[in-house]
Amino acid sequence: MQHGRLNQFVTLLFLSGLPLSMWAHGTTATVAPPAALTATNTLAEGVAELSLRELYQMPIGPRGLVPSPKLLALDGKQVRVVGYMVGEDEPVAGRLILAPVPTQLVDEDEPESDDLPPNVIYVNFSSSIQAHSMRGPIRLTGTLRLGATPQPDGRLAAVRLELSPELVPHLPVVSATPTQSSR
């Protein structure tokens, strides 16, 4: 009987859209994304739509992940990507991570392990702000860049999106300082 209750609990978590890691480690506060990051407007000319599920060839082969032809063709081009901002205990200034499902990074238990799915995009922006965790899917546009590049927190990012500068002011910030307004 106990096993049946566990299955019900896991099913409820799955249906709620919250990852198990958030329940196991606690949640961090999130905010609703601003309208500028959720609008379903039409694509601007010269911008391609890229799904996070299109990053790698499927099924995964014996040698691991292989970039998809579409991903390779879009390197250096303007793309729009829809995903969920990865929640982090300590957000990194000038960077956020976009995942295909709601995900929370928690380093307290196992700092060397990673809760990230393989098909994430590191979103870099030229600003010293730390983006506040947002719940729900967001749409981001920028220039796609490929190739392992070190991030400020020591992670290597194979797929990056240089966020369009006009979207940076719409990112909610972790804490406002006299030089940063809470947008």
In a domain, 97, yes or no: yes
The CATH number of residue 74's host domain is: 2.40.50.140
Residue 93 lies in a domain: yes
Whether residue 45 lies inside any domain: the answer is yes
Predicted TM-score (pTM) of this structure: 0.77
Give the model's confidence band at 182: pLDDT under 50 very low, under 70 low, under 90 confident, else very high.
very low
Is 5 within a domain? no
Tokens 């905010």 correspond to 31
pLDDT single digits (tens) 140-169: 999 999 999 998 888 889 999 999 999 999
pLDDT per residue as tens digits for the range 13-52: 444 444 443 434 444 578 889 888 988 888 889 999 999 9
Q: Is residue 40 part of a domain?
A: yes
Q: How many domains does the chain have?
A: 1
The backbone region for 178, taken as left when phi is positive above 0, alpha when psi lies in -120 to 50, beta otherwise, is alpha
| 119 falls within a domain | yes
State which residues form the domain around 62.
Answer: 26-170
The answer, yes or no, to whether residue 82 has pLDDT greater than 80, is yes
**Do residues 173 and 129 lie in contact, with contact meaning Cβ atoms separated by under 8 Å?**
yes
